[in-house]
Structure 1
Amino acid sequence: MDYSLSFKVNDKIYLRDPEGTELGKQMVKHSIDLIFQLGFEHFTFKKLATEMNTTEATIYRYFENKHRLLLYILNWYWSYMEYLVLFQLEPVQSSKSKLEKLVELLTRELPESAGQTDYNKNYLHQIVISESSKVYLVKEVKEINQHEVFKPYKDLCERISNLIQAYDPHYLYPHSLSSTLIETSHSQLFFSMYLPKLTDCGSENKQVFVEKYLKDLVFTLLNKPQ
């Protein structure tokens, strides 16, 4: 059965809710396409306006700057990932199998079958790998965090932390491990594609390599004597 996906994004991120208008929805869709094609550094509201046949002023009515727009896109992704964790792990029985499935979700491209969206999921996945750290590795992170704009990311980490604790209730660092799994899945995929000597990937399929590496990492940590 086909169904559409929609997630409520923190209203502190935008000036006008892009989900409230067709223009706003197209703005986010075209932003994902352009950021994938150009990279975040070369992406501008002027280029987005040209792509959409509109004006820069129109874009600025929705978002204060391109950092907030990227933060909006990442909020949507984090909410979607938490949904995937709930949806795809629900029928899985054992706590070990749940963790294995989790690692697969973190390292593979977003499934086309898990809900319909106007966004290009492959582009979105590549943006997450290459650009996601840029939303919080900023000087103003403490200030913008006060508005709970990273709550979907924290919720995803909490969900993963619960899976870790279900497998090993005595493990002392479940939240640290959960954020490490997320960030390492991104960095190792990026390194495997562009800086392979920072990994042990070799000629192996990159997603398969990162999946195997993270499974080895998590179970080596959780299975060692306390």
Structure 2
Amino acid sequence: MQSILSNIKIKVNEKIYVKDPETSTLGKKILQESIFLIDEIGFDSFTFKKLGERIGSNESSIYRYFENKHKLLVYLCSWYWSWIEYRMVFKMTNIDDPMERLKRAIIVVTEKAEEDKSIPHINEAVLNNIIITEFTKTLHTKEIDDENKEGFFLIYKSVINRIVLLIIEINPDYRYPKSLASSIIEGALHQYFLQDHLKTITNCNEQISPTDFYLNLLLSILKNNK
């Protein structure tokens, strides 16, 4: 899989950035180090000045790639969901049984990410931590409707809609496929957060993963609604 992904260009909406960071050494370094810095200090404390000091470059050079730190976070999240979508498609390839395809899709979107060595400037495991703690900050803004119209969240919605289509294929009479699919993806992130910080209000732990929970929930719902 790594060899396949290494030949794939992860595409992000060009309206999110000023200059494509994937086209230069500095741009890739901005992506690489912003992931580590946001993970270390949190997005609220993250600034382009701090990032510039970390990469040994002027703050102004970062603005040549991203208008502001919000757009950088949207970029990183879009990159992550695009990577997830590629992995979903790969895992479901040549699988005829729709239930097995759905299980594989759920595993991809709910499991903890591991670093993909074939993409050296992106540490997917650390980026996964950012998605868990910071992703909602890309959505819960006053600009959400305008950014949605600009297509900022098309990749994220595409991941959800792939799961929606699988649910409908298995049970076309189920009334809430979109709500179920989006709840699984958002819920898995929340369960990882609870597992790390508010352990007393989740059953997820070292023995029970969010993936275990959502596979159980999904199969129970679809079985009982046939």
Q: What is the TM-score when the length of structure 2 is the normalising length?
A: 0.91
Describe the shift of the 1:84–1:193 C-alpha distance in structure 2 as closer, same or farther (beyond 3 A): same
Aligned equivalent of 2:153, options 150, 155, 158: 150
Q: Distance in 1 between matches of 2:200 and 2:149?
A: 38
Is the partner of 1:70 in helix, strand or coil?
Answer: helix
Contact 1:44/1:66 (8 A) holds in 2: yes
Partner of 1:56: 59
Matched, 1:79 2:65: no
Is the partner of 1:103 in helix, strand or coil?
Answer: helix
Aligned equivalent of 2:70, options 67, 70, 78: 67
Q: Distance in 1 between matches of 2:220 and 2:73?
A: 35
Paired-residue identity, %: 36
Contact 2:80/2:124 (8 A) holds in 1: no
Matched, 1:41 2:44: yes
The size of the alignment, in residue pairs, is 223
Is the partner of 1:8 in helix, strand or coil?
Answer: coil
Q: Distance in 2 between matches of 1:140 and 1:174?
A: 27
Partner of 1:224: 224
**Residue type at the aligned position of 2:3:** D
**Residue type at the aligned position of 1:2:** S
Q: Distance in 1 between matches of 2:125 and 2:39?
A: 9
Matched, 1:194 2:197: yes
Q: What is the TM-score when the length of structure 1 is the normalising length?
A: 0.91
Structure 1 residue runs without a partner (length 5+): none
Q: Distance in 1 between matches of 2:202 and 2:50?
A: 35
**Residue type at the aligned position of 1:11:** E
Structure 1 residue runs of 4 or more that deviate by more than 4 Å after TM superposition? 111-115
Matched, 1:2 2:3: yes
Partner of 1:88: 91
Is the partner of 1:75 in helix, strand or coil?
Answer: helix
**Residue type at the aligned position of 1:222:** L
Q: Distance in 2 between matches of 1:225 and 1:103?
A: 19
